[in-house]
Structure 1
Amino acid sequence: MMHRAFQLVVWLLLGLIHIDAQVINAGIAGNTSTQLLARIENDVLKHKPDLVIVMVGTNDMLNSRRMNTYKQYSSNLSEIVNKLKQNNAQVVLLAPPPVDSIYLFERHDRTEFKELPNVKLDSVRHIVARTARKNQVYFIDIFQKFQDLNLPKHNEDVFIMNPNNSAYRDGVHPTRLGNFFVAENVFNFLKKNDLIKKGDRVVCFGDSITKGSKVKGSVTSEGETYPAYLQKSIMDYVASEKITVKDKQN
């Protein structure tokens, strides 16, 4: 048994066998685009990713202790994309979901806001879309996906944490169902655009929404985080379809 396990490890290292796409959760709570840019080498590039999914902007706009201007956010996001492209990674940018401002203002200073929170996130959505177009990378409007369902609904919906669905007066972080909804939209987009390759390494790069705050498997690609649901969907798809192994030499 030990000999067989050692043999499998050696084969993996030599590239003689290939695992299904691996999804890495690189989300850290409280991060703005400034922090993502500072840790991109250690937390993303060192993994030599084939695909990086970036969702950031909630803290840039709504964390009253570390807000960035639209200009700074846009500049940081562009630099993140450029670094990823320079390292030959495919890039998918996500616009973060809307929030329940009532609970947001229970822990962030309302006087720091010159615009309503979801107005700011709507502006972020347009910055992300513009950055994607300019840099010829992919864009998924998660903000609009939530808005299409009229989410969040204060104390009523099951997608954004509130006391009735999670016992948290939160208003920002998705529940397990919210994370599943994000992952489902990302997976469907990847499949539609032929971005799922067997053996690829995928990094989900972002803040506490990517991390999976207050759900099972937080900071991992297991449990109830959106990277966890995404990994399961990819692995199921790879197992059921004839997905070829990408030639890493090209």
Structure 2
Amino acid sequence: MLVLVLSQVIIICTNTQSLYAQVPTQTVETTDSVFVKNAGIGGNNTIDLLKRVQRDCIDYKPDLTILMIGTNDMNSVKYVPLEKYKQNLIRLLDTIKASGSKVLLMNILPFYTPYLLTRHPKAFYGEAGPEGRQEAVNKAISQIAKQEKVPLLDMHHYFASVGKIGLDKYSLISNEKNTGKTDGIHPTVDGYRLMAALVYQRIIMANLPHKRVVCFGDSITKGDGSITRNSYPAFLKKLLAGK
């Protein structure tokens, strides 16, 4: 069982039980009117998000956009050099903010390197290796968040600290023991629950608007593609609706 105490939020996460978050009752809006859009698409990088930001984000008129992007940008199939990635991320943030939406930016999750290297050649990452490449991306995200004056949720820190990344069946990143897959990148269902609870906590504690929320990103945002089952947008919607 995973128990986290985050400020005023208590998070309990197990393989078989739902995740529960307790917050001061006066801050929780219990309503079915909350709108949450799962706008994650597998394989997307910042170039892809720029192409569809109007259609899949702005056209939904969000008052809050939750953005996570960068995992595919750093890997071989959809690689975007770091400087271009920075430019793209700034363009995304500026475009979304110009529409009137607030933005909550997340950095990218840790991965299990042996699995990652079954899909991407080790030589591609150079001397820094995959971890060094990811560290550079997350450093850039942090710098841009400060520059653009948007809140940053350090999701990498939480997963790296308590996610048991590796071959353990309790890992919050998918592996053979917990999902039957040599994945190493995508969260488990409990991983998505943790993501949702952390996002929810930040929304409530920072008093971010949340009547209309778009979760914008790649397959880590997409999850199972739903807004009712196993994705962080689905779990977030339940929390925002007070269910």
What TM-score, normalized by structure 1, do the two folds share? 0.81
Q: For residue 86 of structure 2, what is the aligned residue in structure 1? A: 74
Aligned mates of 2:109, 2:150 — CA distance in 1: 20
Aligned mates of 1:90, 1:190 — CA distance in 2: 11
**110, 125, 132: which is aligned to 2:138?**
125
Contact 1:122–1:143, Cα closer than 8 Å, also in 2? no
Write the mapping of 1:181-220 to structure 2, written as runs, cut at 5 A: 181-197=194-210, 200-212=211-223, 218-220=224-226
- Name the CA shift for 1:151/1:71 in 2 (closer, same or farther; >3 Å): farther
Aligned mates of 2:232, 2:32 — CA distance in 1: 20
**47, 50, 53: which is aligned to 1:40?**
53
Aligned mates of 2:129, 2:200 — CA distance in 1: 31
Q: If each structure's strand is expressed as a fraction of its own residues, which one has the higher value?
A: 2
**92, 97, 103: which is aligned to 1:91?**
103
Residue segments in structure 1 that go unaligned for 5+ positions in a row: 1-17, 213-217, 238-250
Shift of 1:20: 2.6
- Name the CA shift for 1:173/1:66 in 2 (closer, same or farther; >3 Å): same
Aligned mates of 1:139, 1:52 — CA distance in 2: 12
Aligned mates of 2:148, 2:35 — CA distance in 1: 25
Contact 2:106–2:154, Cα closer than 8 Å, also in 1? yes
How many residue pairs get aligned? The number is 212
Q: For residue 247 of structure 1, what is the aligned residue in structure 2? A: none
Aligned mates of 1:233, 1:32 — CA distance in 2: 28
Aligned mates of 1:128, 1:193 — CA distance in 2: 19
Contact 1:33–1:60, Cα closer than 8 Å, also in 2? yes
Contact 2:163–2:171, Cα closer than 8 Å, also in 1? no
Aligned mates of 1:151, 1:121 — CA distance in 2: 18
Q: What secondary structure is seen at the aligned counterpart in 2 of 1:91?
A: strand
Contact 2:63–2:100, Cα closer than 8 Å, also in 1? yes
Write the mapping of 1:42-191 to structure 2, written as runs, cut at 5 A: 42-62=55-75, 64-114=76-126, 115-149=128-162, 151-191=164-204
**227, 232, 243: which is aligned to 1:221?**
227
Aligned mates of 1:19, 1:226 — CA distance in 2: 18
1:14-48: CA deviation from partner (whole Å, max 9, x where unpaired): xxxx8532110000000011111111011111101
Contact 1:158–1:177, Cα closer than 8 Å, also in 2? no
Q: Share of identical aligned residues, percent? A: 33
Q: What secondary structure is seen at the aligned counterpart in 2 of 1:204?
A: strand
Contact 2:125–2:133, Cα closer than 8 Å, also in 1? no
Aligned mates of 1:184, 1:24 — CA distance in 2: 17
Shift of 1:156: 4.2
Q: For residue 11 of structure 2, what is the aligned residue in structure 1? A: none
Q: If each structure's helix is expressed as a fraction of its own residues, which one has the higher value?
A: 1
Q: For residue 6 of structure 1, what is the aligned residue in structure 2? A: none
Aligned mates of 1:116, 1:230 — CA distance in 2: 34
Which AA in structure 1 matches 2:125? F
Larger of the two Rg values belongs to structure: 1
Shift of 1:172: 0.3
Shift of 1:154: 2.9
